[in-house]
Amino acid sequence: MFDIGFSEMVVIGLVALIVIGPERLPRVARTMGHLMGRLQRYVADVKADINREVELDELRKMKDSVQQAATGFESSVQGELNKAESALNAAANPAAEMTTPAEDAPAVAPAEPAPATAAADADAAAPKSPEKIG
């Protein structure tokens, strides 16, 4: 607090001894010690309160920045989800429009291939020799 050296303390002590007197000096010194202790504790409490307020303010600022980041992230994710949903809906709508006319058309059974005979299958599977060509 104050820049008081040993020599200054000796001068203060001698002046106090002369002014106060040797009988009352120990009691005054003890009272001054108690008052200095109270003053130091009060200053320490004020410093601690100020530090707590500064830390609390920093935490509030950090909380606000984290909330803003979370809100920004949420909105970007929501935007991407909306884009993906609209892309899927756009892809599903043309497919639905294409299937709708087909569903309205009368059902036609596909033509069945002619039944194959075992001999025709064997001829198709066998390699052709030069004698059979022609």
Rg over alpha carbons for the chain, rounded to the nearest Å, is 50
In the chain, how many H helices and how many E strands? 3, 0
Q: Collapse the DSSP code of 122 into the 3-class scheme (helix H, G, I; strand E, B; otherwise coil) and give the result.
A: helix
Query: Given this model, what pLDDT does residue 47 score?
Result: 97
What is the dihedral angle through the alpha carbons of 55, 60, 65, 66, rounded to the nearest 10 degrees?
A: 100
- Average pLDDT rounded to a whole number, residues 2-28: 87
d(CA 78, CA 127): 64
Task: Inform me whether the pLDDT recorded for 124 exceeds 70.
Answer: no
pLDDT 10s digits, 20-78: 888 998 999 899 999 999 999 999 999 999 999 999 999 999 999 999 999 999 999 99
